[in-house]
């Protein structure tokens, strides 16, 4: 096993404590408050060979670290890291897919049921004494029965959600950048066309310029008055003003949201929407899953410096090779 105690890993901002513990036991760990190269002296910048991040990591920050080899990102989404720039400059980027797939899929289904059957509101009815004082909770307008589900982004998590909803007896359709091999679900070539042919739209699409506000007023209108929208992917994929308007004027029936464009700040119009079920980005938030993600961050760095091949490179950097030293 390679001695890694002289390899410096920089952690800008927060990182899961288990990942910090693992990395501190194997590497020389350096921590700063945020991803700002001005917080480091020149000699410190030159020593950094790896980053472990949960925060925005842009081209300028990476370029300020002349010996940087790898950025290990915590989370399946990595739009906060300029992976394209990293790949073009010989820097590996990794993320933490797979280990959170099932947890996020579970949350998506739970959020859908909460949204359709109003379970949080029904529980509040009981806790506030209204069941005993007023009577039964009102019958919900909606149900999963007879619904048709469309999934925006049929990657690992999207397919895990689809498998769960198949067990509910619901037909599945999807829109992704291209048809997915090996699945029998109906593919639609545009998000609007998908929305037009379903009444339940679940977004698990990644962030980035190509999906910025993809779920817009046109898509929501196509989803229709009985439509339910659930977002478990990235808040940036939704035009939140259009969504708030659609909820207010009945363009769609309801929405369930676990992610927002400017977290932790949630638009007031969405907060006031009684037909919205809102969660504070808890899709993968269990001790079990977050620890597995932390382990994968550490394992990617260990594998890179020991073998030159991390476990989960992102597509933009899959051909990056370990530099010769």
Entry pTM: 0.93
Place domain 8-99+287-317 in its CATH homologous superfamily: NAD(P)-binding Rossmann-like Domain (3.40.50.720)
Annotated catalytic residue, options 42, 46, 263, 306: 263
Closest CA to 77 of 48, 49, 57: 57
Q: What is the mean pLDDT of residues 220-244?
A: 98
Sign of the alpha-carbon dihedral angle for 245, 248, 254, 256: positive
Predicted confidence band of residue 324 (pLDDT cuts 50, 70, 90): low
pLDDT higher than 60, residue 68: yes
Active site residue 18: no
Active site residue 103: no
Between CA 91 and CA 101 the distance in angstroms is 26
pLDDT higher than 90, residue 240: yes
pLDDT higher than 70, residue 145: yes
> What percent of the chain lies above the pLDDT cut of 90?
97
CATH number of 101-278: 3.40.50.720
Active site residue 281: yes
Predicted confidence band of residue 57 (pLDDT cuts 50, 70, 90): very high
Q: What is the mean pLDDT of residues 283-289?
A: 98
Q: What is the mean pLDDT of residues 170-180?
A: 97
pLDDT on residue 323 = 80
Q: Cα dihedral angle (199, 204, 206, 210), rounded to 10 degrees?
A: -10
Which pair of structure tokens corresponds to residue 166? 């198949």
pLDDT higher than 70, residue 2: no
Q: Sheet holding 92-94: strands in order across?
A: 28-32, 8-12, 48-53, 70-73, 92-94
For the chain, domain boundaries: 8-99+287-317, 101-278
pLDDT tens profile 183-212: 999 999 999 999 999 999 999 999 999 999
pLDDT on residue 3 = 76
Q: Cα dihedral angle (130, 133, 136, 138), rounded to 10 degrees?
A: -50
> What percent of the chain lies above the pLDDT cut of 70?
99
pLDDT on residue 124 = 98
Q: What is the mean pLDDT of residues 16-33?
A: 98
pLDDT higher than 60, residue 86: yes
Burial label for 184, CB within 10 Å (0-12, 13-18, 19+), is: exposed
pLDDT on residue 316 = 97
Question: What DSSP string runs through 45-71?
Answer: HHHEEEEEESS-B-HHHHHT-TT--EE
CATH topology agreement for domains 8-99+287-317 and 101-278: yes
Annotated catalytic residue, options 234, 240, 290, 316: 234
pLDDT on residue 4 = 86
């Amino acid at each position: 096993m390679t001695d890694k105690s002289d390899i410096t890993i920089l952690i800008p901002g927060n990182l899961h404590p288990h990942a910090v513990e693992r990395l501190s036991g194997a590497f020389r760990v350096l921590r700063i408050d945020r991803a700002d190269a001005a917080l480091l002296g020149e000699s410190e910048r030159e020593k950094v060979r790896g980053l472990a991040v949960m925060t925005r990591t842009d081209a300028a920050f990476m370029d300020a670290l002349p010996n940087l080899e790898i950025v290990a990102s915590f989370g399946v989404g990595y739009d906060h890291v300029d992976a394209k720039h990293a790949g073009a400059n010989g820097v590996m980027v990794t993320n933490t897919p797979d280990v959170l797939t099932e947890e996020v899929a579970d949350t998506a289904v739970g959020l859908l049921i909460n949204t359709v059957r109003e379970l949080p509101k029904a529980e509040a009815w009981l806790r506030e004494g209204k069941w005993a004082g007023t009577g039964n909770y009102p019958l919900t307008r909606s149900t999963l029965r007879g619904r048709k589900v469309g999934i925006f982004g049929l990657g690992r998590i999207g397919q895990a959600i689809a498998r769960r909803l198949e067990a509910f007896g619901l037909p599945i359709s999807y829109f992704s950048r291209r048809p997915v091999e090996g699945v029998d679900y109906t593919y639609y070539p545009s998000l609007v066309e998908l929305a037009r042919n379903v009444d339940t739209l679940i977004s698990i699409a990644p962030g980035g310029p190509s999906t910025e506000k993809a779920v817009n007023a046109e898509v929501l209108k196509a989803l229709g008055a009985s439509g339910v929208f659930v977002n478990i992917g990235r808040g940036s994929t939704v035009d939140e003003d259009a969504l708030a308007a659609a909820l207010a004027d009945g363009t769609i029936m309801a929405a369930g949201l676990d992610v927002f464009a400017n977290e932790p700040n949630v638009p007031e119009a969405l907060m006031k929407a009684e037909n919205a079920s809102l969660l504070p980005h808890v899709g993968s938030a269990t001790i079990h899953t977050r620890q597995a993600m932390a382990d994968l961050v550490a394992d990617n760095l260990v594998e890179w410096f020991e073998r030159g091949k991390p476990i989960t490179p992102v597509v933009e950097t899959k051909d990056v090779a370990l530099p010769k030293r």
